[in-house]
């Protein structure tokens, strides 16, 4: 009888601990968002998102963060386009052409799983060595290339996940109607389109928020770049640099930038969820 009671008690204690741990995690997320919003909201203004830094911006005078917002968008759009044009063929190749348990396919998956874990500072350093070899200066182009290599593993892993789940019958049906393998690609792409969108949103989130990779490669500037060879400002670096200023008004802008960045990322993350749910209903 006593043994039984101890059993029950242990069960209760650990269940309580588990619920507490889950609660701690949820609360810390809310705390982070709350802290960023609370500090960032008073610093927000229309100027922040509509103006580039004016004269004396860094001693607290007028101007906004438009340079960093546009710069981040440029980098992300460029690297998503480039990233997709590398990762789609690779994913389709290992899923369409290679047999199910092919060594090459397994090795490719493993190597992108591993590359996914490589920290962005290493990609940044690598991008920097490339720049030095090629004689490039820190520029939009170098930033795009570095962020591309950072997000390719994410794109490949998450697109592969959905392409793998396409029913085999679908491929067989198309093949038996006389389509070549490359002609099936259209069928597959149509089936996995929502998955690709989710993967893209995921990578946009990662690419737009990463500071360590663009620190070496993209540089920083107060204007909006007009060519690929000019340096470009990014939101994470705007936060990082302005936070280290001793002037309160400048720090405020870092908090405003943090709020903008968090807003973008939250929007993307919720959007990704919405897409994958809305379209998964219509799939087989």
Partner 1 sequence: MDKARYNKFRQTREFFIRNSMLFLTLVSLSFAVIIGISLYLKSVPILDQQSLWALLTGESWRPLKGEFGFYPFIMGTLWVTGLAIFLSLPLCLLAAIYLSEYAHPYIKKIVFPMVDVLAGIPPVVYGVWGILVVVPFISETLAPHFVEFSTGYSVLAGGIVLAIMIIPLMISVFIEIFDALPGGLREASLSLGATNWQTIKKVVLRKSFPGLAAAVVLALSRAFGETIAVLMVCGNVSEVPKNLFDPAYPLPALIANNYGEMMSIPMYDAALMLSALLLFVIILAFNAISRLVLIRIEKNFAL
Within positions 122 to 141, which residues make up the interface with partner 1, using CB under 8 A? Answer: 122-126, 128-130, 132-133
Residue 148 near partner 1 by CB under 8 A? no
Print burial letters for 81-103: b (CB count within 10 Å at least 16), e (below 16): ebbbeebbebbbebbeeeeeeee
* Interacting positions 78-97 with partner 1 (CB under 8 A): 86, 89-90, 92-94, 97
Find the shortest distance in angstroms from Cβ 196 to partner 1: 17
Q: What is the DSSP letter of 137?
A: P
Distance separating alpha carbons of residues 232 and 144, to the nearest angstrom: 10
Residue 158 near partner 1 by CB under 8 A? no
Among 79, 120, 146, 158, binds partner 1 (CB under 8 A): 120
Phi/psi zone of residue 45: left (φ > 0), alpha (ψ -120 to 50 degrees), beta?
Answer: beta
Closer residue to partner 1 (CB): 141 or 157 = 157
Residue 184 near partner 1 by CB under 8 A? no
Closer residue to partner 1 (CB): 81 or 111 = 111
Q: What is the DSSP letter of 244?
A: T
Closer residue to partner 1 (CB): 120 or 139 = 120
Find the shortest distance in angstroms from Cβ 171 to partner 1: 15
Residue 144 near partner 1 by CB under 8 A? no
Closer residue to partner 1 (CB): 70 or 254 = 254
Among 41, 77, 114, 189, binds partner 1 (CB under 8 A): 114
Q: What number of chain residues touch partner 1 (CB under 8 A)? A: 86
Find the shortest distance in angstroms from Cβ 67 to partner 1: 17
What DSSP element (H or E) covers 220?
none
Cα–Cα distance list, 36 to 30, 175, 239, 256, 258 (Å): 10, 53, 12, 9, 7
* Interacting positions 224-283 with partner 1 (CB under 8 A): 236, 239-240, 243, 254-255, 258, 261-262, 265-266, 268-270, 273
Residue 15 near partner 1 by CB under 8 A? yes
Beta strand extents in the chain (DSSP E only): none
Find the shortest distance in angstroms from Cβ 56 to partner 1: 23
* Structure-block tokens of residue 283: 């799939």
Find the shortest distance in angstroms from Cβ 135 to partner 1: 13
Cα–Cα distance list, 99 to 33, 104, 159, 190, 247 (Å): 46, 9, 18, 22, 61
Write out the DSSP string of 42-94. GG--HHHHH----TTGGGT-S--SHHHHHHHHHHHHHHHHHHHHHHHHHHHII
Distance separating alpha carbons of residues 254 and 244, to the nearest angstrom: 9
Residue 41 near partner 1 by CB under 8 A? no
Residue 175 near partner 1 by CB under 8 A? no
Residue 121 near partner 1 by CB under 8 A? yes
Closer residue to partner 1 (CB): 100 or 227 = 100
Neighbours of 119 (CB within 10 A): 12
Q: Binding pattern to partner 1, positions 186-225, x when CB under 8 A?
A: ----------------x--xx-xxxxx--xx---------
């Amino acid at each position: 009888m006593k043994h039984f009671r101890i059993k029950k008690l242990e069960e209760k204690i650990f269940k309580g601990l588990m619920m507490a741990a889950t609660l701690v995690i949820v609360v810390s997320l809310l705390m982070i968002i709350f802290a960023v919003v609370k500090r960032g909201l008073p610093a927000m203004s229309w100027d922040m998102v509509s103006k580039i830094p004016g004269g004396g911006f860094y001693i607290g005078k007028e101007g906004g963060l438009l340079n960093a917002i546009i710069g981040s968008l440029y980098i992300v759009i460029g690297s998503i386009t480039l990233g997709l044009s590398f990762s789609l063929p690779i994913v389709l190749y290992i899923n369409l052409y290679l047999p199910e348990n092919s060594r090459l396919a397994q090795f490719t998956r493993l190597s992108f799983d591993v590359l996914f874990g490589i920290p962005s500072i290493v990609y940044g350093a690598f991008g920097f060595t490339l720049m030095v070899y090629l004689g490039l200066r820190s520029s939009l182009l170098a930033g795009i290339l570095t962020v591309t290599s950072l997000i390719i593993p994410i794109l490949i892993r998450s697109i592969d996940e959905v392409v793998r789940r396409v029913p085999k019958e679908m491929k067989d049906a198309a093949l038996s109607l006389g389509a070549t393998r490359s002609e099936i690609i259209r069928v597959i792409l149509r089936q996995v389109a929502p998955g690709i969108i989710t993967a893209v949103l995921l990578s946009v989130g990662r690419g737009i928020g990463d500071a360590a990779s663009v620190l070496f490669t993209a540089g920083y500037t107060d204007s909006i770049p007009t060519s690929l060879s000019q340096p470009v400002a990014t939101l994470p670096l705007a936060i990082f640099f302005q936070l280290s200023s001793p002037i309160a008004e400048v720090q405020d802008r870092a908090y405003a930038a943090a709020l903008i960045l968090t807003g973008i990322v939250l929007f993307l993350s919720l959007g990704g969820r919405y897409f994958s749910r809305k379209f998964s209903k219509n799939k087989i």
